[in-house]
Every structure is written in structure tokens, then in C-alpha cells.
Structure 1
């Protein structure tokens, strides 16, 4: 049994719901939040301890994993503290807000011998399992182009939380806090980014950070990809399309769990459609979102073959965000990877 403490009862609510479904592998020992009432609102009959002091879980020898569900400006310090006490870490996005801090986390993880799992739960779901199966079988071929749409709606009530929409609290806007999941899916499916160009703007809300963006990516494979982002849409929709050599994969519009909604897989050549359909039908089922995410962490902790999100993948995500902000401010095309001498390596805050 893997014992886990959730830090933060906001997005921690969703983590808890997934962990309830995996009670044969995980036991939630404690939930920590400054507001005990908020903890009780998510308890739903659970027997975990409600705490306001994180030190109590850091020093508890029974706890294996610290699950960080806090505002972004607290992620690095709590991750480093957890690692110093010999705990594995799950950290909500973003893992950090500078590549220098990612290096600090990486060094601390090596010293402790513990895992750090950045949260990218969008990777899991039946439709994404089908796409990965088509790719692994050779039926898809190489990615040619891809387009991502993160078209969501965020209004005054969302930004009534004091730290949101600020550089000091949220550390970024739609690029960092919203589209980061879809950009992770892009690299998960299409591979590494070689270069990008980006434009960002604040057009929807009276906030400090960006709420719109348009980005073009050149992948190391040669594929060309685009990302369109706004928090001023009529509703919340995520739409993904990957055009491969032999098929086109198109998502539905589910905003937060794109792998949980059926995708279409259309053969470029009609005589291949039957084989593609057969492969899709024969793909093993996969849990959606956080449940799939935690399942793979359980395998990693138990030294089993797994596809858990790695610290290196979290680092790549922060590198991508850094490059996007640099491009949007300078108008330059930015090549990746970014080196330590890059001017935003220590952070992108204005």
C-alpha cells in the first residue's frame, strides 16, 4: 500500500476522487489545507486526517508521497522540502517557473533517491490509448502537422481568487496555467520541439498575465504545429488534430479530459481504413485522466514497467513555457533546448 498526503484541497479534490478509485494501491493518510472547512467539504466519508500544518506530514515516516496541489508560487519550495524528508513528490502544474529551479529540483531528487512526478493527466484515456496503439503498430506513420485549440472561458469569478491572474501568484497566464496540458500532449505525441514563435496578449480580462496566445512549433521530426489559446471563448472546448502520413486523428471538444471522449481516426487511403478500425477496436481500455495518471505512478513506485510522467518531461514543459514567453516579448524565433546562459533561464517574471 502506498501512503499519500494531499497538500491543498482545491484541485486536490480531483486527485482525491481518483485515488478513491485506486484504494487497493493507494491510501490517502492526510489532507493539508489552511482551511479545515474546505477539507471537510471533500471528505465524503474518508478517514484521512485533516491538518493545517504541512510539517506533520513531511515528518511522518508512514507517508510515501507528498501530492502538491498548491498555487504555483509554492510548488518549488514544497517540492524541495518534501524531497529533503525523503518523500516522493507529485506536483501539479507547473512544476516550477524557471529552469534554474527545475535544476534545483532535479539535484534534490538525485540526492534523495526519490521520484518527482509532474502532473499531466490529459495523457490518459481510451482515445489516446488508441492513438498510441496506432502509432506503435506503424499504421499512423510520421506526424506531418498538428493543431491545438485551448478555447476556454474565464471571467471575474475565476479571478476573484487573489493570486490568479498575477505574475507573483500564478506566475503566468493561459500559456502556463491552461494550455500547458495540451502542449504536453503535443510533445507526447509529436516529439520534441526544435523551435517556436509566439505571440501573447491580454484581451479578455483586466489581469496582469496573458489570456490569449498564438504559437507555431517546428518539431525535431520536421512536423509543423500550431496552438491557439484564449480564455474568452463562449464555453470551454479543447480540440486537437494530428495529421499523420497515413491517417488523421481528431479529438472531440471535451476541455479537461480529451482522451475520455471518442476521437475519429480517418485513413488517408481508403483501403487502410479497415485495418485502422480493427486496431482501434483491439486497443486495451485505459482509465481517464487522474486515474490513469496515478495508476502509472503506482507501477513506478513498485518498480514495475510504467508510463508515469517523468521529471525530465516536466522540465521540458518548463523549457517550452520559457521559450514561449521569450519569443512573445522579443518577436524572435526561439530554438530549443535552452541553455543555462539563456536570459530567462532563471525565470520569466517581468
Structure 2
């Protein structure tokens, strides 16, 4: 039985708590921690938990309470600090997205994992959506051929008051806008599908709708891969309807989420034959439909995977190395957008954009955040949808 602590009882914590409660024979929540302890007390009551409540993570770690795994669900700027302190205390760690706002923090977290011989997993729960998981399985058969062009739409909508919360909309606290905090899901997916980072990035950043935020609310990026293929990533919190998805134009066919297939076949003059490649379409469709559904989806699916890794001494599906790759690509997008120039990967330790301090020093500030609120009374959130 693994003893679990959840640090940060904000909007995303219910996904962790409910996911953990799905496995009562494997884990038990023994602690909830938040700088606003009343939020932890409310969650304790809501979920009828037999646990202790803390207002400081270090106090919790020093309390003598038996804790095996710490789930870090706080704002991004303290992910690294809490994760490292927890690993130094001998705990395994599950870190919400993004892993951290900077590569320097990511590397410090990875070093702490290695130093303490514990396991760190990073949340990227969309890999545990049936439609995403099945798309990856189809892609890996190579039947559709290599990826030639990818379109990633991380389209969300957030009202003006979204950035009224005290830590949002600040480079120092949130680390960025939707490129870091929303598209992180889709960028992880893209890295997973591609199997590698791009060689270079070009990007533009904008703030079109939220004048109470210094960070971007929209970015468009073009990624260039070693084989000459390209990808386009839209990161937004200004898109009505929140239509999200990924389209992979492969050599032999188009694959996408929401699931949709197209496969052209050439006439003798190079134009597409009417009806397309029916034989290939049928083969791809049959393979897709034959993939069994995941037993658990979303956060619950990833929590199941992490528990299994800790129980069996194996690596989780989404490691700290995966989390770092996502942050590296996001950092490259920010660097390209701030400098308005083509940026080559990897980002080295000598570069100013390697650290959060360097990012803050060079970031574009679209507006000045002049007021804020401590907490919202409305806690209903959306976790993304995939629509055609």
C-alpha cells in the first residue's frame, strides 16, 4: 500500500484525488497540503479522507508521516522546489504539467531523481485518451508512412477574468501563457508521435484578448525536423468552441484526432484519383477498430501507470525526461517569439533562455497586471475536448 500526499488543492487536484481513489487496494491518501489550508480541509471533507492537512510542504515532509509518493499540483513556479524537496525526503513524485517553467529547473529535478534513486513522473494525461493512444498505435505500424506535416491545434477559450487569479498572467509565477500551460498537452503528444524534437523553430507571440496579463494568449509556431518535414502548433486561449486536435499528414495517408482517414492515390498526371486508396483506408480502419480500449483514461490511466511503475520497479510511461523535452520545445518557441528569429535546438545551459531568470529578463510583456484575486469561488474547469 503506497501512502500518497497531494500538494496544491486547486482546480486540477480533484483529477488526482479521484484517480487515486480508483485504486483503494494499492494506495491511500494520507496528506493534503495547500498554502490555503481551508481548501485542503474542504477536499478532505468532500472525499471523506482519513488524512492530515498541512499548509506547508516542508512541514509535511518533516512531520514523520509515512509518505511514499507526492503529487505536485501547485502553480508552475514552485513545481521544481516541491518536487526536489520531496525526492530529497525519499519520496517518489508525480508532477503536474508543465514539469517546470525552465530547463534549469527540469535538470535540477532530474538530478534529484537520480541522486535519491526515486521515480519522477510528469502528467501528460492525454496519452491516456483512447483516441490519442490508438492514433499512436496506428502511426507506429508505419502503414501510413512517415509524418510529412503535422498540424496541432491547442485551442482553448478563457474569459478575461481567468487572468485575475494572483499567480496567472505573470512570467515569474505562471512561466508563460497557453504555450506553456495549455499546449503543453499537445506538444507532449507531438513529441510522442514524432519520436524526436525538431531541429529548429520559428514562432510569433501575441496577446489579443487579455489586457490583465503580461504573457501571451496566442502563439503560432512552425517546427522543422531533420528529415525536412514540418509541424505547425497553435497555442491559444482565445478560440471560441475550443476545437482541439492533431492532424498527421503522412506519406501514404492522413491520420487525425478526432479520428479521420484520408488516403489519396495518384492518376497518371499526378492528380488524385476519385475515391482515394480504398484498400489502404480499409486496412487502417480495421487496425484502428481492432485496438482494445484502455482500461483507464486520463489522469486515472496515468496514475495506474505510475503506481505500476513504482510497484514493479520499472519506469513510468511519461518520465521526467519526457517532461523536459516538452519544456525544451516550449522554451524554443518562446525564444523564437521573443527574438523574432529562427531558433536552433537544443537549448544549451549557456543560453539565457535556459533559466527562468533569463526568460523573465527577455520576455515580451504585453500588458501590466495591476490587480488580482486570491481564489475563485467557482471551481468548475474544462480539461480539453477533441472536436472536428
TM-score between the two structures when normalised by the length of structure 2: 0.82
SS in 2 for 1:135: helix
Once residues 147 and 13 of structure 1 are traced to their aligned partners in structure 2, the CA distance between those partners, rounded to angstroms, is 31
Give the equivalent residue in structure 1 for 2:57: 54
| Aligned equivalents of 1:303, 1:221: Cα separation in 2 | 38
What CA distance in whole angstroms lies between the structure 2 residues aligned with 1:99 and 1:281? 39
**Structure holding more strand per residue:** 1
- Give the deviation of 1:215 after TM superposition: 0.2
**Cα 1:323–1:140 shift into 2, 3 Å:** same
SS in 1 for 2:239: strand
The RMSD of aligned alpha carbons is 1.9
Verify: 1:280 aligned to 2:288, yes or no: yes
CA displacement at 1:209 relative to structure 2:
0.5
Kindly provide the CA deviation profile for residues 235-264 of structure 1, in whole angstroms up to 9, marking residues without a partner as x: 323122112223322223xxxxxxxxxx22
User: Structure 1's 219 and 41: CA in aligned 2 closer, same or farther, altered over 3 A?
Assistant: farther
1:342 is the counterpart of 2:347: no
Change in 2 beyond 3 A, CA 1:221/1:278: same
Distance in 2 of aligned mates of 1:265 and 1:29: 47
State the Cα distance separating 1:28 from its structure 2 match: 1.6
Q: Partner residue of 1:98? A: 102
Runs of 4+ residues deviating >4 angstroms = 304-307
Map of 1:322 onto structure 2:
331
Match of 1:203 in 2: 208
- 1-side partners of 2:131 and 2:88: how far apart? 39
Once the two structures are TM-superposed, the CA of residue 313 in structure 1 deviates from its matched residue by 1.0
Residue 257 of structure 1: aligned partner? none
Q: Do 2:77 and 2:174's aligned partners in 1 also have CA atoms closer than 8 Å?
A: yes
1:228 maps to 234
Q: Return closer, same or farther for 1:330/1:295 CA change in 2, 3 Å cut-off.
A: same
What whole-Å deviation, never above 9, does each CA across 1:125-183 have from its counterpart, x for those lacking one?
11122112212333232111111112211123312211111112212111111111111
Verify: 1:113 aligned to 2:117, yes or no.
yes
Deviates most, 304-313 or 185-194: 304-313
Distance 1:306 1:110 in 2: 13
Q: What SS is found at the alignment partner of 1:233?
A: coil
Cα shift at 1:265: 3.5
C-alpha separation in 2, matches of 1:180 and 1:122: 10
Instruction: State the structure with more CA Rg.
Output: 2
Question: Alpha-carbon deviations, 1:90-119, whole Å to 9, x = none?
Answer: 111222222222222222211100111121
1:74 maps to which residue?
Answer: 78
Q: Which consecutive residues of structure 1, in runs of 5 or more, have no partner in the other structure? A: 253-262
* Residue segments in structure 2 that go unaligned for 5+ positions in a row: 265-276, 362-388
- Retained in 1: the 8 A contact 2:72–2:79? yes
The number of residue pairs the alignment matches comes to 340
